[in-house]
Structure 1
Amino acid sequence: MSNVSYYTAEGLKNLREELNQLKDIERPKASQAIAEARDKGDLSENAEYDAAKEAQGLLEMKISKLEETLANARLIDESQLDTSKVLVLSKVKIKNQANGMEMNYTLVAESEADLASGKISVNSPIGKGLLGKSVGDVAEIQVPNGKINFEIIEISR
Structure 2
Amino acid sequence: MNAMSKIPLTVKGAEMLRQELHRLKTIERPSVITAIAEARAQGDLSENAEYDAAKEKQGFIEGRIADLEGKLSSAQIINPAELDADGRVVFGATVELEDLETGAMVTYQIVGDDEADIKQSKISISSPIARALIGKSAGDTADVQAPGGVRQYEVLDVSYI
Question: Secondary structure, in 3 states, of the residue corresponding to 1:155?
Answer: strand
Alpha-carbon distance, 1:115 to partner? 1.8
Alpha-carbon distance, 1:116 to partner? 2.0
Return the match for 1:117 from 120, 128, 131.
120
Query: 2:101 corresponds to which residue?
Result: 98
Query: 1:84 corresponds to which residue?
Result: 87
Unaligned runs of 5+ residues in structure 1 are none
Matched to 1:119, the amino acid is K
Cα pair distance change 1:155/1:120, threshold 3 Å: same
Alpha-carbon distance, 1:44 to partner? 1.0
Residues 110-154 of structure 1, C-alpha deviation per residue, up to 9 Å, x if partnerless? Answer: 222222222222122211111111222211111222211111111
TM-score normalised by length of structure 1: 0.91
Query: 2:61 corresponds to which residue?
Result: 59
Runs of 4+ aligned residues of structure 1 deviating over 3 Å after TM superposition are: none
TM alignment of 1:1-157, pairs within 5 A = 2-77=4-79, 78-157=81-160
Residues 11-65 of structure 1, C-alpha deviation per residue, up to 9 Å, x if partnerless? Answer: 2222112111101211111111111111111111111111111111111111111
Alpha-carbon distance, 1:3 to partner? 4.3
Higher helix content, 1 or 2: 1
TM-score normalised by length of structure 2: 0.89
Question: Secondary structure, in 3 states, of the residue corresponding to 2:43?
Answer: coil
How many matched pairs? Answer: 157
Residues 48-99 of structure 1, C-alpha deviation per residue, up to 9 Å, x if partnerless? Answer: 1111111111111111111111011112143242142101121111111111
CA RMSD, Structure 1 to Structure 2 (Å) = 1.6
Alpha-carbon distance, 1:8 to partner? 2.6
> Share of identical aligned residues, percent?
43
Contact 1:93–1:153 (Cα < 8 Å) also in 2 = yes
CA distance in 2, matches of 1:99, 1:152: 14
CA distance in 2, matches of 1:36, 1:131: 53
Question: Secondary structure, in 3 states, of the residue corresponding to 1:41?
Answer: coil
CA distance in 1, matches of 2:67, 2:99: 37
Cα pair distance change 1:143/1:114, threshold 3 Å: same
Contact 1:6–1:73 (Cα < 8 Å) also in 2 = yes
